Amino acid sequence: MGTPGKRYKKAVRKHLELLSERVWNYTIVLFTKGDTTEQNIEKGGKRLQLLLEKCGDRYHILDTKNKDNHTQVTELLEKIEEMVEKNRGGYYEIQKEGTESSAKKMKKVGWKVWQQRGKQQPISQDKDTQTEAELFRAPACEETQMYNLPEFRIVLLGERGAGKSTIGNIILGRELFDTERVTGECEKKAGQIAGRQITVVDTPGPEGWNVAGREGWNVAGREGWNVAGREGWNVAGREGWNVAGREGWNVAGREGWNVAGREGWNVAGHEGWNVAGHEGWNVAGPEGWNVAGPEGWNVAGPEGWNVAGPEGWNVAGQEGWNVAGQEGWNVAGPEGWNVAGQEGWNVAGQEGWNVAGQEGWNVAGQEGWNVAGQEGWNVAGQEGWNVAGQEGWNVVGHETRPPGE
């Protein structure tokens, strides 16, 4: 059901081997997606290929999104009938010896009644519900017996969330299994299909993309977009966009766009657009567009477009579009789009869009979109948006007016 992972394949193998090696002769792999056989096998990789080989290359695709397609159910029953015939017209039943030891083995590999919130649920006494031991009658047997069948009895195995309950309903043609909850214990339902008695047993999944499981988008799991997991977009996990995790966009994590983390767009972190602030690219951090400001590209920090200013590309800092000014491409700084600075789009600087500088979009400079210069979108120059004025892309030029003009 779906694409099996390494742990999932191992769990299925252990569970089936409890029923002895002969059980593989009575097993069919069901795909629950609408992909082609080739696509399913390709997605499953080597692990799926080995599983198929173990089952004698018996498989069937059941499209759970097309529940009204009764042909796919008929074809599945035909494959089961063919499998039974290859087993000399008999079904698989296990002797009763060894029931107690088998139950211990099942518990050891984790195939037991589903535990929710750490508490084992009581086994239902409903006539439609049986324990695994009752269903399979002592897996630790030495030999089996074959009986001609007046009916088909199908046991569905797979990870939680794989769609076993949905498949059971499709096979029986009625909504008998509850698909709105996680299957917590084995359930048996029956019906008449094409004149034959069909019994379907739905089982709890051993692991998978579960609640309290180990993989996938889990709750209290270890991988994926989990809650209390270790990887992915977790809550209380270690990786991904976690809460209380260590990586990603975490809360109380160490990396990414975290809260109380160390990297990324964090709150109370050390790096990125982050840190103990109130909004966005935040506050009270030593790096990035952040630091002790109330909003945006902020304030009182040593780096970035920030530092001691009230807004935006700020003020009184050391780098960026800032320094001792009030807005935007600023003033009196050593770098960037400064006024009276040394680099960038400066005023009275040496490079960039300067005023009285030597390069770039200058005022009274020699290159670029200058004022009284020789090139670019100048004012009193030859081209462009500019000005013998005080701000960029301005007025009184010969071509292309500035925005808003």
- Model confidence pLDDT, tens digit, residues 167-216: 999 999 999 998 888 777 888 999 988 778 899 999 886 543 333 333 33
Measured CA to CA, the distance from residue 400 to residue 343 in angstroms comes to 26
Residues 43 and 190 in one domain: yes
- For residue 327, tell me if it sits in a domain: no
Tell me which DSSP letter residue 196 carries.
E
pLDDT reading at 87 higher than 60: yes
pLDDT reading at 376 higher than 80: no
Beta bridge partners of 189: 200
The CA distances from residue 211 to 159, 214, 219, in Å, are 11, 8, 5
Residues 70 and 162 in one domain: yes
Share of the chain above pLDDT 90, in %: 6
Residues 216 and 190 in one domain: no
End-of-domain residue from the set 169, 184, 202: 202
Q: Out of 7-11, 169-173, 194-198, 227-231, which region has the weakest mean confidence (pLDDT)?
A: 227-231
Mean of all residue pLDDT scores within the chain: 54
Contact 140, 105 (CB under 8 A): yes
Measured CA to CA, the distance from residue 297 to residue 287 in angstroms comes to 11
Q: Which amino acid belongs to residue 296? A: G
- For residue 131, tell me if it sits in a domain: yes
Residue 185 neighbours by CB distance under 10 Å = 19
The CA distances from residue 65 to 72, 117, 133, 348, 401, in Å, are 12, 31, 33, 69, 59
Residues 154 and 56 in one domain: yes
Residues 159 and 212 in one domain: no
The pLDDT, as a whole number, for residue 181 is 80
- 235 or 4: which leads in pLDDT: 4
Q: In b/e form, how buried is each residue of 244-276, taking b as 16+ CB within 10 angstroms? A: bbbbbbbbbbbbbbbbbbbbbbbbbbbbbbbbb
- Give the contacts of 396 (CB within 8 A, at least 6 positions apart): 379, 380, 387, 388, 389
Residues 151 and 220 in one domain: no
Residues 214 and 195 in one domain: no
The pLDDT, as a whole number, for residue 70 is 87
Residues 166 and 188 in one domain: yes
- For residue 103, tell me if it sits in a domain: yes
Contact 347, 339 (CB under 8 A): yes
pLDDT average, residue stretch 29-46: 71
Show the tokens assigned to 256.
């990414």
- 166 or 9: which leads in pLDDT: 166
Residue 7 pLDDT level (bands cut at 50, 70, 90): low
pLDDT average, residue stretch 24-28: 86
Residues 217 and 198 in one domain: no
pLDDT in tens, 233-281: 334 443 443 344 444 433 444 444 334 434 443 344 343 333 343 333 3
Q: What is the extent of the structural domain holding 185?
A: 6-202
Residue 377: exposure state from Cβ atoms within 10 A (0-12, 13-18, ≥19): buried
Residue 153's SS3 state is: strand
Residue 303 neighbours by CB distance under 10 Å = 17
The pLDDT, as a whole number, for residue 177 is 93
Q: Structurally, how many domains does the chain consist of?
A: 2
The CA distances from residue 224 to 44, 176, 219, in Å, are 18, 31, 9
The pLDDT, as a whole number, for residue 5 is 53
Contact 209, 163 (CB under 8 A): no
Q: Quote the radius of gyration of the chain (alpha carbons, Å).
A: 35
**In this structure, which long-range contacts are made by residues 96-101, counting pairs with CB atoms below 8 Å and at least 24 apart in sequence?**
96/137, 96/138, 96/141, 97/138, 97/140, 97/141, 97/142, 98/138, 98/139, 98/140, 98/141, 99/133, 99/137, 99/138, 99/140, 101/140
